[in-house]
Amino acid sequence: MTSSGKYVICSGFANVVSILDASSLSTLRTICTYGNWVASMCLYPTETKYVDKIFAITLNGDLTVSTFNEQAMLFTHEIRHRIDASTGLPEAKVEINRYDKSLLMTVQKRCCMIFAAKSGKVSLTSQIPCEDGKGSWKGGKFLSAATLLLWSSSTVYLYYLGPDGDVIRTSDLASVPSDAVVLFARGNLAYYVRNMNTGHSQGNSAVTLIAAFQDTKDHIDGTSIIAHVPGKQNGLHHVLSFRQGGAISQWTFFASLLGAQLRGVQLEILSGSQGPGAAYLPDADFTLQSLWPLSEDPAPKVVSVASVSNKYIAKGYENGEIRIIPVRCVFSDSAGDREEGAYLTLKGHIGPVTSIYAPHPRESGGRNVLLSGGMDCTVKVWNMDDGKLLASFLNHAEYVQGFVPIPSDAGQRLKSSIFSISKDRSIASIDLEDLRCCYRLTGHSHEIDSVHWRTLDEILVVACVDGTAYIWQLKTGHLDRIISGSDVDDILASCDGQVSCKSFGLGYQHVNIKKSISAFPIYTSEDDAPPLLAFQINTKRLISEIHGNQVLTPPATPPTNSALSRIHSQTQHPRRSSSLYSEHGSMDQSNIPSRPASPKPSAQHFSQNISHNFMDIFKSRPGSPSLLSSIGKSGSEREVSPAPSPKREEAETPRDENTKEPPDMEAVYALCAALMSWGLDNDLDSLCQERADFVRPGKHVAFGMRGANGYLSIFAPEKNPAADWMISSTVTAARLLNLLALTRPALSARGLEDQLSTIVTHYGTTLPSIVGRQFAFPSFSFLAKYWQDPIAEVQQVARTLFNSTLAKMGTEEKAAVIEYWRAHLPAISKKNTKMNTRAVIILGIVGSLQPDALNMRACKDVAESLDLLIREELRSVYRVAAVELLGSGFAIWEPHINGTSLLRTLINFSGLTTSTQSASGGAGSPTASPNPALIMVARQALVQIATINSALFISTLTFDLMHSKSATERAGSLKLLGMFIAKKPIILYPHLARIVEAIVKCLDPNQPQIRDSLQQIVTVNFAELVKTYPNVAFHHASQRLAVGTMEGIAIVYDVRIAARVQIMEGHTKPVAAVSFSPDGKLIATFSLEENTVRFWQPTGGFLGTLVGALTTGGATSGAAGVAALASVGGVGHMKSFRTFTLGPPPDTNTITPLDVVQGVKFEWNGERRVTLNSINGVQLAFTV
């Protein structure tokens, strides 16, 4: 990757170099810059921005030094040097000295060459032949400007690039000068030089061997893999040697540090010779077995495994048995308990069961079946309702490797069929509906890579790994022809579909992530049984299923940790055959709605849809006994032997494909317990076991994560339980998120809220103090992905962990985090990759939670980036998060963005109006279906902004109401006002005068089309205003509307002409209530702060009389007259004719607007009698 991080430069077995975009890995440019294939390449940045130096060695021996200009996308060759090909070019690797960039080395098969690149020339300075005689160098690495490690397959050497006379050896560590450079230190022995020179001269410079690290003779096998772990802080280095069979050797030493640093560390006295160049024996020898104590299951040994629904797994054994076992039993600490819990045992295979597959009923014509393949070359189909053998097929000459489901679009001839793949490179197609073998394809010369089909031509194309393709006719079942070369690509490109058949040992990459629980084996070699059983848990889906079977449809591209892995150990077997894609089937979820997220879900809500009488996993067809009935009340194991296949009845009704079974809560409990960290707190362990009924899992259980492309990261169990929380921030975040999100509904379903509170407090608050200083706090980047997750539990846990982690950070730590992510903000980097989007969300959360953490410049960059984010076509989850953060943190973002523009964007997102930017989550897609999450969050953000800056909100809304030329946009603003009147009336209370003015203007008779289209919604809003606010009144007969203002005046509008007709002046404080008398001849107003009541006699005057006369006539002439008069206008100012002072003004500091809105109103008891209801229950009657 280039120094800017924008591009990736790739080379290999081609004469070209490809330049890829680092964010998408798409090829931007291909350059033919080298004359041969490139064997190795390394890059380091120069002092010039966007210019990097590249060292490359080709297979013909050209060592080339080039510069790469990112902006021009141009390679410039500076130096080309031909090296000696007799030292084994095909093994060549090139490595730059990061401490002295004038030096580089090429690691070749029999010799390592050190070169100096100066003044446009490359010169050979040193040669280091392989010390192993007939062995060869495998790799090398510079440790400092003048020291390097070289290793063969069995020995590691430490060299100093200089004469032996420069090196001083001492056993008195205190005598090492403070400014000396320590080359190597181990025990009480140290090698150092007084000065380390850089920039080696031309010529054959001396090289001195300092130390060698070698295994014992019994361990040397010539196939070891060497790994070096550098010392980043105290100069402590580790070298590891990995050998076949799982044996590992480790050496530890100090290197590349100053003498003063050497005195500050403790050197343990280690065994081994200490002479110059002497070989040191390993400090530690261990095996994977010692790191991960795999449990020994009783015979027979497990050979294959597959998941059956979400509750059971099927295990195939070496003696030919298949056992159906509940998921919860797998996590037991006792191997015997794990096997005794079997619900069903199927017997029929002779020899090991090499593969198992449980198809979805959609794939098997509605049947509830299990397929198994064995070392006896047979494929058997089992009825999972009663455990009987339905059919047995002998289609292959060698053992069955696995099964591949055929998609429904493969054509009628392959409908409800499945492929079985054999070691003999043959394929058989089995119809699971009619239970017959349709095709048997043999004679393939190499391992099968994939199967393709062309529906109309009814042909099947089998592609092999050697590039050949076999074309089979489905009508006759015969081989049509064999093709190779470029014709293969043309044939495969013309096919309608395909399924992959390769990588039998990599089934974990193809597991169905849509299932809540999936099981699959992990293999370590071709001929051994799987030592590990992995459980992939889709936590979000599992939580949805707990909540009343409401299952979320996963995204097309799963997140990097869309599932977790639970590892269960098995003993090895001398033969193995992979279960091929045993989880490749999919479940139909198109008609299942997403469960809306609730910000504060209650325990009662969690448990209200939970059924305690779960249906059994195997649903029986009519006339078939259920699994539980065959087991009996004791739950003992039932053996089923082969029986004649029953003839399938015509009246059979396939199971409903959309029926979703609830999860086995015992399995959910077992998963929660496996996610916990046992042994850290004895009191918590007791609570979990005794009061929460958790069963402590076995020591063979470990935690893992599923990453990109299905790759797994599995962490071996640690003897110290605290070590589980020291691995990395991402691992901590993933484990805590899944644990807390899954434990909450599991315990709430049983009414164990008190125990849940204790567990949440332990893992969410006190865990860091228990683990200590090495605790890896949860990753902000990981948690930010789930800030707007649609699953309420996941969203709430992610937010809680983020807030808790941020609260525990010191000022310097926060500043470092902010500075790191600030560089990735789109406002600075001018890029819009996933990394940039994540940076916006993280810093947006930080700013919203702790505004003081961001300085003014960072605040501006975050605000601008958030504003950019909501206007980009991104995944809706990121846009939703940005909208929420803009609303919650508007107080700190407002000075740096256009608040009015933001409000209009949010109104468009709110779903209240139709605009060019819809609420569907994308710009310019008004016809797309709205995004409910975006609509909800946009409305919430509008409320938050209106609360923070009501003046901005009201001014924007009223301006759009009065000046928008579109009736649709005005209707959206009116709907938004209606929402605020109903839900947040206090926000509008100080601005009622402006709001009423804007609404009245929507009825302007000079715009008849807008008036007619908005009349209904305006009427609704007026009714809500009068109903909600005591200082707004309407008289129906005269069509007049009165509103009291904060300035002490009352304004009367005639809605027929959409204009003011009278202004009542007299109060000097806000008018708290206004009301028309029943006949409309009197208006009463009350000012709470003045504690006075005034009465007014509104007169229509000449204008009002004329308007009334015109509107009583014909509709057409009346409307025209009103429009004409509205353009003339005419507002009368009026004084009250009677005033009542009710006493001294009350203390308004203790009175809230809500008290006024809810406690003050007029009630007319006649044409001249009115009662005033004031706050604190005061009632006063007036007769005028």
Beta carbons of 20 and 8 less than 8 angstroms apart: yes
DSSP-assigned states of every residue in 415-430: TTEEEEEETTS-EEEE
Q: Are residues 348 and 216 in the same domain?
A: no
**Strand pairing category for 1132-1134 and 1059-1064:** parallel
683 occurs within a structural domain: yes
Residue range of the domain that includes 1046: 1030-1184
CA distance 645 to 392: 9
Instruction: Give Cα separations from 930 to 448, 870, 921 (angstroms).
Output: 46, 15, 8
Per-residue model confidence as pLDDT tens digits over 567-578: 333 333 333 333
pTM over 0.85: no
CB atoms within 10 A of CB 724: 21
Facing residues of 65 across strands? Answer: 55, 79
- Residue 395 sits in the same domain as residue 525: yes
Q: Where are the alpha helices (DSSP H) in 600-728?
A: 603-607, 627-631, 665-675, 682-686
Which token pair is 421?
């793949």
Strand partners, 227: 240
Tell me the CA distances in angstroms from 299 to 97, 317, 321, 339, one per residue in order: 55, 9, 12, 10
Q: Render pLDDT for 139-164 as a digit per residue (tens, 0 to 9).
A: 888 988 889 999 887 788 999 988 88
* Residue 1007, pLDDT above cutoff 70: yes
pLDDT of residue 1118: 44
Mean pLDDT of 614-643: 33
- Of 482, 501, 520, the last residue of a domain is 501
Structural domain includes residue 839? no
Q: Is 438 helix (H, G, I), strand (E, B) or coil?
A: strand
Q: What tokens were used for 15?
A: 């004469």
Between CA 130 and CA 139, with CA 133 as vertex, the angle to 5 degrees is 30
Q: Above pLDDT 90, what percent of the chain?
A: 27
Helix spans in 564-713 (H): 603-607, 627-631, 665-675, 682-686
Counting Cβ atoms within 10 Å, is residue 860 exposed (0-12), middle (13-18) or buried (19+)? middle
SS3 649: coil
Q: How far apart are CA 811 and CA 814, in angstroms?
A: 5
In this structure, is residue 198 part of a structural domain?
yes
pLDDT, tens digit (0-9, with 9 covering 90-100), for 869-909: 888 766 678 889 999 999 999 999 999 999 999 999 998 88
| In a shared domain, residues 452 and 340 | no
Same domain, 160 and 241: yes
Cβ contact 971:913 at 8 Å = yes
Q: What is the pLDDT of residue 264?
A: 65
**Total domains in the fold of the chain:** 5
The identity of residue 730, as a single letter, is T
How many whole angstroms separate alpha carbon 1104 and alpha carbon 1130? 9
Q: Please, are residues 1115 and 1126 in contact by the beta-carbon 8 Å criterion?
A: no
Q: What digits encode the pLDDT tens for the residues 1119-1148?
A: 444 444 444 445 778 888 899 998 888 887
Please give the average per-residue pLDDT across 740-764, as a whole number. Answer: 88
pLDDT score, position 592? 29
Within 8 A by CB and 6+ apart from 816, the residues are none
* Whole-number percent of the chain with pLDDT over 70: 78
pLDDT tier, 245 (very low <50, low <70, confident <90, very high otherwise): low
Same domain? 523 vs 414: yes
Question: Is 1149 found in the same domain as 1038?
Answer: yes
Q: Say yes or no to pLDDT of 176 above 70.
A: yes
User: Does 270 reside within a domain?
Assistant: yes
- State how far the Cα of 176 lies from the Cα of 184, in Å rounded to an integer: 12
- Out of 778, 808, 838, pick the residue that ends a domain: 808
User: Which residue did the predictor score with more confidence, 1041 or 289?
Assistant: 1041
Other C-beta atoms lying within 10 Å of the C-beta of residue 622? 8
E strand or H helix that includes residue 733:
helix 729-748
CATH number of the domain within which 342 lies? 2.40.128.630
Longest Cα–Cα distance of the chain, Å, equals 121
* 776 and 705 both lie in a single domain: yes
Query: In this structure, is the dihedral angle defined by the CA atoms of residues 209, 215, 217 and 222, taken in order, positive or negative?
Result: negative
Position with higher pLDDT, 1004 vs 554 = 1004
Q: Quick check: is 17 in a domain?
A: no
In the chain, the amino acid numbered 33 is: T
Q: Out of 153-157, 437-441, 1060-1064, which region has the weakest mean confidence (pLDDT)?
A: 153-157
Helices 729-748 and 539-546: crossing angle, nearest 10°?
A: 10
Q: Looking at the structure, do residues 790 and 710 belong to the same domain, yes or no? A: yes
Angle made by CA atoms 1078, 1081, 1084, in degrees to the nearest 5: 75
DSSP state of 979: H
Confidence of residue 188 (pLDDT cuts 50, 70, 90): confident
What tokens were used for 702? 């470990």
**DSSP alpha helices (H): ranges in 30-186?**
none
pLDDT at residue number 642: 43
pLDDT bucket at 954, cuts 50 / 70 / 90: very high
Do residue 178 and residue 310 come from a single domain? no
**Which of 745, 775, 808 is the last residue before a domain boundary?**
808
Residue with tokens 């990736």: 8
> 3-state SS of 280-295?
ECCCEEEEHHHHCCCC
**Residues 535, 437 share a domain:** yes
DSSP 24-62: T--EEEEE--SSS-EEEEEEEE-SSTTEEEEEEEETTSE
Average per-residue pLDDT in the chain?
78
